[in-house]
Amino acid sequence: MKRNSVAVVGAAETTEMGRIPDMSVIQLHADAALNALADAGLKPSDIDGVATAGASPTEVAYYLGITPTYADGTSVGGCSFMLHVRHAAAAINEGLCNTVLITHGESGRSRVGAGGFRGGGGNSSLAGQFEAPYGPVGPPSMFTIPVLRYMKTFGVTEEDLAMVAVVQREWAAKNPRASFKEPITVDDVLDSRMIAWPFRMLMCCLVTDGGGALILTSAERAKDFPQKPVYVLGTGESVETPMVSQMEDFTSSRAFRVSGKKAFEEAGIKHDDVDHLMIYDAFAHLPLYGLEDLGFCKPGEAAAFTNERNTAIGGKLPLNTNGGGLSYMHSGMYGMYAMQESVRQLRGIAPAQVPNAKISIAHGVGGMFAASGTIVFSNERG
Amino acid sequence: MDRTLPTPTPETQHFWDGCKAGELRLQRCTECSKAYFPPRPFCPVCGSRDVEVFKASGKGVLWSYVINHRPRPDMGDAPHSIAVVQLDEGPRMMTNIVDCPQTPEALKLDMPVQVKFTSFGEIALPLFQPAGA
C-alpha cells in the first residue's frame, strides 16, 4: 500500500436504523449507497468499482445501475469491509478503476429479503422472484436463453453451434488428460440428447471433479524460481447482472466487452499479437460471444471464423487447446483450468503446443453472463 | 410438488399485488421518464429516488427462449418454454409462453404475446400467451 495515496470522499449509513421492516437486504445496500453518493456529490454512473460482502457485487452493481471495471466480493466475515478498503486502494493505485463504492446491508433483525443472491432467502432475491418461478434448472436452461436471439440476429445455425464442439474435440484428442478424446461430427452433436432446445448434450460442458492452483510473485523475484516465469501483461474484469433475462443485449455480453477492452488496454497489445486464446466454454455459444466481444471478430462473424478453422489445429488463432469445458473437463468453476492451459502454452509444455506462443489470453465468465475476467499472459517480460 | 414461487419484498410488493389484481405494473423515473424492471424504489439509470408505478399494457414480443427438456419436479414432466419477452414499454422479463405447443415451430421469435396471469395460491405469475389466443 502506497501511503496517503487514496482517500474516503463519501460516507453514509442507511436512512433509518434499528428496525427497518420496509427494506430488503439489497435495498439496504442501495439506500446506504445512494446516501453515500449524495454525500460525495456523485451519481451511480460515476462509480467504476464495487465491493461488498453478503450480497454479490454483481447484484449490487446491477441494482444500482453501475458498470464496474473492478468488483470485489471478498467475504471473510465482519471485517470484510476493511479488506475491501485495502483492496480498493491497491486497485486505484494500479489503475484498475478510479472510484470504488463499498456497501453493506443486513436485515439482521427483520430478516427481509435476507440471504441475498442465491443465498438462504433465495425466493426473495431478484433472481428468486423474477426468474426462478419460470422453471430454470441451473446453467443448461439459463445460460442458453439469449442464444436464439443471437442466432436470429446473425443467421447463425444449429450446425454452427455444433461446429464449436467438433473443433474443440479435435484439440482434446491431442490431450491425454482430456475426458473425451473420440472424434465427433456435426451430426453426432445434433443427434445427441436434447437438453434445452436449441442445446444438445454435446453443446454443454462436462461435469467432472478436479482442481487447480496458481502462485504469483513479483516479476523481479520470479526469475529466481525453477520454472520459466509467465508474466501478467494486462487484466480486465466487469460484472453485468445476476439475471440473464436482464442482459442489456442478448447478442453480446457487456461484462465481456468491458473486461476485454480493459485487458487489451493494460497490456498495450493488438489482436494480431495474440498467439493463443482460452475462452471459458461452459456451452458452445460462449466461444462465439467471446471471439466477438473481445474484438477478434466483428459481431455475428465468429461462427464463420470457426467454420473456416481459424480456431482449430493449424489455424491462426488456436482456441481452447486443452479441449475446453466441452471436452477436457469442467468441475463447475472452469476459469482456473483456462489459465492453467495458458501457463502451459507459455512454458512450452502443453500437450497440443502452439509453436513459439508468446502471448496468451484467458477469458472467463461467471454466472450466466453475470461477470467476466480477462488475463493477458506473456512469457516475455517486455 | 408445489410450484416454486417468489417471496415478495417491500420494494416488489406493488408488482406482485398488481399481478393478483390482473395488472402488469412497471416503474418509471419521473426525471428521465425511462421505464424499468425489476422493481426498486429508485431509477437504475440516473439514481433518482423520484419514481412512480404505472400499469403497463401487458403486450410485447417473444424475445428469446429455450425449451427445457429436463424440467424441475414442480414444472411437470413435459418439455416447456423458459422465455424472455420484450414489453412494449421497453423492459424485458422472464416468463413462460403458454396456451400454445411448446415447440420451435409454434414459438417464433418476435411473435406478439400478451400477459396472462395464472394463480398459484397467494401468488399470481405473469405468464404470456400468443396475442389473440
The answer, for A196 touching chain B at a CB cutoff of 8 Å, is yes
Q: What integer pLDDT is reported at residue A36 of this predicted model? A: 97
Q: Tell me the pLDDT tens digit for each residue of A9-42.
A: 999 999 999 999 999 999 999 999 999 999 999 9
CB A245 within 8 Å of CB A146: no
Task: Tell me the C-alpha to C-alpha distance, in Å, between residue B72 and each of A6, A64, A91, A365, B68.
Answer: 50, 32, 42, 25, 9
The three cell numbers locating residue B97: 409462453
* pLDDT by 10s per residue, chain B, length 133: 889 999 999 999 999 999 999 999 999 999 888 999 999 999 999 999 999 999 999 999 999 999 999 999 999 999 999 999 999 999 999 999 999 999 999 999 999 999 999 999 999 999 999 998 7
**Chain A residue numbers touching B3 (CB-CB < 8 A):** 133
Residue A119 in this model has a pLDDT that exceeds 70: no
**Per-residue confidence band for A117, with pLDDT thresholds at 50, 70 and 90:** very low
**Per-residue confidence band for A116, with pLDDT thresholds at 50, 70 and 90:** very low
**Cis amide bond preceding B126, omega within 30:** no
Q: Tell me the pLDDT tens digit for each residue of A150-192.
A: 999 999 999 999 999 999 999 999 999 999 999 999 999 999 9
Per-residue pLDDT, averaged over A239-250, amounts to: 97
- pTM for the model stands at 0.95
Task: Note the helical H segments in chain A.
Answer: 25-40, 57-64, 80-94, 126-130, 147-154, 158-172, 186-191, 219-222, 254-267, 285-293, 302-307, 324-327, 335-347
Share of chain A residues as helix, strand and coil, in percent rounded to the nearest 5: 40, 15, 50
- The Cα of B24 is separated from the nearest Cα of chain A by a number of Å equal to 13
Percent residues over pLDDT 70 in chain A: 98
DSSP state of A332: S
Say what angle helices A285-293 and A254-267 make with each other, to 10 degrees. Answer: 50
Q: Which of residues 227-266 of A touch B (CB under 8 A)?
A: 243, 245-246, 250
Spatial distance between the Cα atoms of A310 and A316, rounded to a whole number of angstroms: 5
Q: Tell me the pLDDT tens digit for each residue of B7-44.
A: 999 999 999 999 999 999 999 999 888 999 999 999 99
- The Cα of A338 is separated from the nearest Cα of chain B by a number of Å equal to 28
**Cis amide bond preceding A198, omega within 30:** yes
Q: Which of residues 198-227 of A touch B (CB under 8 A)?
A: 198-199
Q: Which of residues 43-82 of A touch B (CB under 8 A)?
A: 43-45, 63-65
Q: Tell me the pLDDT tens digit for each residue of A194-239.
A: 999 999 999 999 999 999 999 999 999 999 999 999 999 999 999 9
Q: What integer pLDDT is reported at residue A114 of this predicted model? A: 74
Please, which residues have CB within 8 angstroms of residue A160's CB and are 6 or more apart in sequence?
A288, A303, A306, A307
Residue A118 in this model has a pLDDT that exceeds 60: no
Residues paired with A359 in a beta bridge = A378
Residue A310 in this model has a pLDDT that exceeds 90: yes
Q: Tell me the pLDDT tens digit for each residue of A246-258.
A: 999 999 999 999 9
Q: Tell me the pLDDT tens digit for each residue of A262-288.
A: 999 999 999 999 999 999 999 999 999
Q: Looking at chain B, which residue has its C-alpha nearest residue A61? A: B44
Q: What integer pLDDT is reported at residue A115 of this predicted model? A: 58
